[in-house]
Structure 1
């Protein structure tokens, strides 16, 4: 019994130490700023958008460099509205997206699988007609070359079928009438979250970002 209690105590202390180190790393590394590339032209308007937990990268539906609606088809949304000017994309755990309509409905099994990379991932694409700057929505202007790199980063996050097309997830878990879900690469975990993906997207296109962050607020702190 004494041996069992000693082992249990070590496990508990180990978990506490892990959580403390994780929180310290999340706080300290997110404070370190990766600076924006200097002296670039301002050709393309993009946005970063948060719902208070999760960061989306929002880009034009189409310009001379990319027409996202060719693969992120309007017909995959409930509303099938083709008048949107922007499309926001966010990467996350598939279980979070499809099985957790609100945080109150979050199941332990979903959270556990996500935290330890035991589930697959998805990209949530949401069409927007217009966006207004606010504490939760920041406007950025980037060069065409930077946008090309962002396109590559985002498209490489999608899974494709044998014909090279994006794989729409058929579901009734849509958040509204203007969104859809797609299969994605990688697995969500404690060290690579939805916000880590968005933060890396900003790095890919030469914008201010955190050295590393699992949360959304440190990203938006860089743009206050």
Structure 2
């Protein structure tokens, strides 16, 4: 029975991530529109480690200064100030107290699957990240980036900032309380899919796995 439920979940995830999400009428640039010119656009990246995905954004732009939201974005790391942050949303116990999957307790996994969990936002810090297979750049209109940034900031608890970071499994990252409930239906990757959709990025209707997000984002052509 459990195997059957898992198979249904996996099949539903594949179908849900393959069906294109309707583009809201409020999105400024339809999918068929040409790429915005450099002055009208912001370059972001979508990153993945095969399990989690995240959105990489410039720390300072006309639309958002993330230092006012995430204090860690304005601090030097190993003597260098970051130029970009990567944001991801996930389950608190996993992000804060589970260094590897081997450390994940069965009781924690069952609790998350049956009851859900409290979310936190993880913020990583980069200095001029280079495009690659797992760091895929996207150019989006400034109005769409502003909408996405607003949705990301609204995912914090409480919305807005600044916030005091929490200590988690990676000392180089910062972790912040977030809104919502982590469930099998609303995962770290479905949150990323939702945020990208706010930015007008074509995306599947439901993206609970990393692959469901990344199949919508082209790898750099030079690779």
TM-score, normalized by length of structure 2? 0.84
Match of 1:159 among 135, 157, 163: 157
2:142 paired residue number: 144
Are residues 85 and 24 of structure 1, via their aligned partners in 2, closer, same or farther at CA, if it must alter by over 3 Å? same
Are residues 31 and 215 of structure 1, via their aligned partners in 2, closer, same or farther at CA, if it must alter by over 3 Å? same
* Larger Rg belongs to: 1
Taking the TM superposition and a 5 Å limit, the aligned residue runs for 1:37-56 are 37-39=31-33, 41-42=36-37, 43-56=41-54
Q: Which runs of 5+ in 1 are unaligned?
A: 1-12
Q: Does 1:202 align with 2:196?
A: yes
Deviates more, 1:139-148 or 1:105-114: 105-114
Aligned mates of 2:169, 2:75 — CA distance in 1 = 8
TM-score, normalized by length of structure 1? 0.83
Are residues 76 and 206 of structure 1, via their aligned partners in 2, closer, same or farther at CA, if it must alter by over 3 Å? closer
Aligned mates of 2:123, 2:79 — CA distance in 1 = 14
Taking the TM superposition and a 5 Å limit, the aligned residue runs for 1:120-131 are 120-131=118-129
Displacement, 1:150? 0.3
Runs of 4+ aligned residues of structure 1 deviating over 4 Å after TM superposition are 75-78
Cα displacement string for residues 10-52 of structure 1 (whole angstroms, at most 9, x for unaligned residues) = xxx3x44432221110111212233763326251010100111
Q: How many residues align?
A: 207
Q: CA RMSD in A?
A: 2.3
1:26 paired residue number: 13
2:175 paired residue number: 181
